[in-house]
Structure 1
Amino acid sequence: MKQLTSLLVALFLLFTQSVFSQGDSTHVRLSVLTLEPGNELYSTFGHSAIRFIDSTYHKDLVFNWGTFDFSDPDFYSKFVRGKLDYFLSVEPFESFLEVYKEEKRSIWEQELTISEGKKHALIRALQNNLADGNRYYKYDILADNCTTRIRDLLFNNLKDLKVIDSLTDRGITYRNLLHEYLDEGAKPWSKLGIDILLGSKLDKPVSNYTAMFLPDYVMQGLDMSNYSQTEEISPAKMIYSANPPDIKTWKYAPLMIFSICCVLLFIISLLHKRWAVVITKFFDSFFLYLTGILGIFLIFMWFGTDHTECRNNFNLLWALPTNFIVAFFIWKRPLWVRKYFFIVALIYGLFLLSWFWIPQQINIALIPIVLFLALRCSKLASN
């Protein structure tokens, strides 16, 4: 893969230099490709790429900023810590197309029917992006991803390009936009995981420009730009139509499952039979271990990684790292542990009361869990 990429980069540099020397790029066609979301989590939000066609040199290439080296022995460690290098790769359009045919993902294309000067500017920008020092970047889901790289390339090099209408309603946040895709893709559990992992940075309202961190919004932005009015950007057209499987999942499944489980556990906790007492103590310790470990992980993602979107996470108000320590003492419950439960019960109660005023949208599926924790901590504090 690396050898093929290097060869294609070298070939691209050769024929683009020829374009400049001739002072004619009429035989070059540039377009933006937008790919439909896929079934896997990594493909839930779609994908973008740049297509480069040179009829003189018979080249049809795709420039893809969503590439990474899966063979890296430290891949998982770097990925978790936000230190994994993503990079710009070049591949023939046919091989690019085959991948998305297998994944049954439709593709739209918007041709940039721009002037020679603007086309040269984009070609030079592509050349600059291919330089060794510029090809690699640290992925950021909101600010620096395979789509924002294309957004920035276009808006930085096409003079006066701007979106002339609003792409979203007033007050729409990054999280709202991600939820659209997760709901459409029938991924309620992934939605819950993302809501727990990613902090309050996702709850900032988007502008037209920042909304284009997602491929569909880049496509819409180009279709609603001043360039589309002057026919310098052709309307999006589907160049490959797929029929992906229709996956149905109730988006409130986590809320319903958590509610049923917590109600059953609470009813069991009210019984005075020996088996009920054992089960109740087991789940008390289980919830403490689980929320404690989760809290420790959230702190690590906040302070121990380069994932800026994981910072300022208000889920730490219920996933308390200190719960992990207290879980070891729950069976004997010394006086200090009972005082701890009293304080935690107050924290959980205040958290529930301020649920809709916290500057971060907390997933509603967590309400029954936090309520159950509040009730159990209150009970443990009084016993």
Structure 2
Amino acid sequence: MLFKKYILSFFLTFSLFGFSQPTLSPKSKISVLTVGTADELYAKFGHSAIRVQDPALGIDVVYNYGHFDFNTPNFYTKFTRGKLLYSLARESFEGFIYGYQLENRWVKEQDLQLTVQERNDFLKFLENNHLPENRFYKYDFLFDNCSTRLPDALQTVLGTKLSFDYTHLENQFTFRELIHQNLDVNSWSNFGIDLALGSVIDRKATPWEHQFLPIYVFKQLPHATVDGKKLVSKERTLLKEVPEEKNSNFLLSPLLWLSILSILVCLITLKDYKAKKRSRYLDFILFLTTGLAGLLIVFLWFGTDHQATAKNFNFLWTFPINSLIAFFLLKKGALAKWISIYMLLLLICIGIALTLWILKVQIFSILILPIVFALIVRYSFLIYYQRSARVH
């Protein structure tokens, strides 16, 4: 029965919009839908969409700027390089709400207080955006996403009649602080995001820029006016999240495993120091891993269109050249004389990174501290090992 309702809704929507844009009646309504967060990384930041209803015409559709196609050629390559195109999708409200019901995510609705003419202008804007030649756009996590498109659309349609009041914002946050509001500090997603995103996200976001997160659009709309009248006339909850017991598994957390790794490196280094030898395979793994991480950071900075990955000083402690040095350290025998100079350079780079952190040029993940400590210990040992070998 449910499947039949979806089919009927689809054909009804297609018949109404397939040939020309309908004229909305006085009974019509336009609202903003805000969707809560979920555990999966793609759902950590919520979602926003626009609902258009008109019982006189039998219309109840949702315009969603967060659509992308997994079947896009070279999908993962384009996604990684920031070249993946998102699009505006139009779907039935019934299908939209059912999907989030399955995901156990709350959905709230805010009715917009618009005149019939403004509603028709808004629908015309959305339908024009939905044309095949207009619906695609290059997604940007901070500056052009499903959430930022909503205030942009309102401003385009309403022009100078629309006014935003930001006095409700008690604090202005940096982009990184805003991202952290949706992430657990001791999580792999938080660690990965802080590793991949650069210092550009450590500046204060303007009140307008806070709206890259759907929850801030939701909070802002009640403080907006059109010709001096409140933009939001009514607010309701369409779906409630069913409380579920969430178990945080410390055994899988990055803090635990990175600390274990750090302790292991330090213990092996202590053993090497006492035995006056060097564990070649440890050095190979350590340098190759940090080097590859550094190469990825540099690639995200210079080889992609992502704005948020620029000026990422995480490369100072991961250091891309380590991926090459790893193979020199795998060789048996005495270390080359330049190795101690290179290790000193690495220690200086770590010092610069920590200084940038203290000066708040870039806020690094607190989770890197165990790794950085292990690297300092190992680099210092390699300087000692190379110099003591020369003496003997």
TM-score of the aligned structures, taking structure 2 as reference length? 0.87
Question: Are the equivalent residues in 1 in contact too, given 2:273–2:381 (CA < 8 A)?
Answer: no
> Higher mean Cα deviation, 123-132 or 190-199?
123-132
Question: Are the equivalent residues in 2 in contact too, given 1:222–1:228 (CA < 8 A)?
Answer: no
- For the structure 1 residues 321 and 9, does the alpha-carbon distance in structure 2 shift closer, same or farther, using more than 3 Å as the test? farther
Structure 1 residue 273, shift from structure 2 partner: 8.8
Q: Which residue of 2 aligns with 1:335?
A: 337
> Higher mean Cα deviation, 75-84 or 221-230?
221-230
Question: Are the equivalent residues in 2 in contact too, given 1:269–1:276 (CA < 8 A)?
Answer: no
Q: Which amino acid aligns with 1:29?
A: K
Q: Which amino acid aligns with 1:31?
A: S
Q: Which residue of 1 aligns with 2:377?
A: 375
Q: Which amino acid aligns with 2:109?
A: E
Q: Which residue of 2 aligns with 1:173?
A: 174
> Higher mean Cα deviation, 198-207 or 186-195?
186-195
Structure 1 residue 276, shift from structure 2 partner: 10
Unaligned stretches of 5+ residues in structure 2: 1-8, 386-392
Q: Which amino acid aligns with 2:120?
A: H
For 1:1-383, list aligned pairs within 5 A: 8=13, 11-12=16-17, 14=19, 16=21, 18-19=22-23, 25-159=25-159, 160-166=161-167, 168-183=169-184, 188-226=187-225, 230-249=229-248, 253-272=253-272, 280-331=279-330, 332=333, 333-383=335-385
User: In the aligned structure 2, how far is the partner of 1:245 from the partner of 1:155?
Assistant: 39
Moved over 6 A (4+): 4-7, 273-276
User: In the aligned structure 2, how far is the partner of 1:169 from the partner of 1:265?
Assistant: 45
Question: Are the equivalent residues in 1 in contact too, given 2:261–2:371 (CA < 8 A)?
Answer: no
Question: Are the equivalent residues in 2 in contact too, given 1:223–1:236 (CA < 8 A)?
Answer: no
TM-score of the aligned structures, taking structure 1 as reference length? 0.88
Structure 1 residue 235, shift from structure 2 partner: 4.1
Higher helix share: 1
Unaligned stretches of 5+ residues in structure 1: none
> Higher mean Cα deviation, 320-329 or 154-163?
154-163
- For the structure 1 residues 44 and 321, does the alpha-carbon distance in structure 2 shift closer, same or farther, using more than 3 Å as the test? same
Q: Which amino acid aligns with 1:368?
A: P
Q: Which amino acid aligns with 1:347?
A: C
User: In the aligned structure 2, how far is the partner of 1:92 from the partner of 1:214?
Assistant: 24
Structure 1 residue 120, shift from structure 2 partner: 2.6
Question: Are the equivalent residues in 2 in contact too, given 1:255–1:364 (CA < 8 A)?
Answer: no
Structure 1 residue 258, shift from structure 2 partner: 2.0
Structure 1 residue 117, shift from structure 2 partner: 3.1
| Count of aligned residue pairs for this structure pair | 372
Deviations 1:231-287 (A, max 9, x none): 441243111112153324389943344234313421331125999966x43222212
- For the structure 1 residues 57 and 7, does the alpha-carbon distance in structure 2 shift closer, same or farther, using more than 3 Å as the test? closer
Question: Are the equivalent residues in 1 in contact too, given 2:186–2:253 (CA < 8 A)?
Answer: no
Question: Are the equivalent residues in 1 in contact too, given 2:269–2:381 (CA < 8 A)?
Answer: no
Q: Which amino acid aligns with 2:204?
A: P
- For the structure 1 residues 358 and 292, does the alpha-carbon distance in structure 2 shift closer, same or farther, using more than 3 Å as the test? farther
- For the structure 1 residues 194 and 178, does the alpha-carbon distance in structure 2 shift closer, same or farther, using more than 3 Å as the test? same
Q: Which amino acid aligns with 2:342?
A: Y
RMSD after superposition: 2.8
Deviations 1:85-120 (A, max 9, x none): 110111111111111111001100001121223223
> Higher mean Cα deviation, 301-310 or 253-262?
253-262
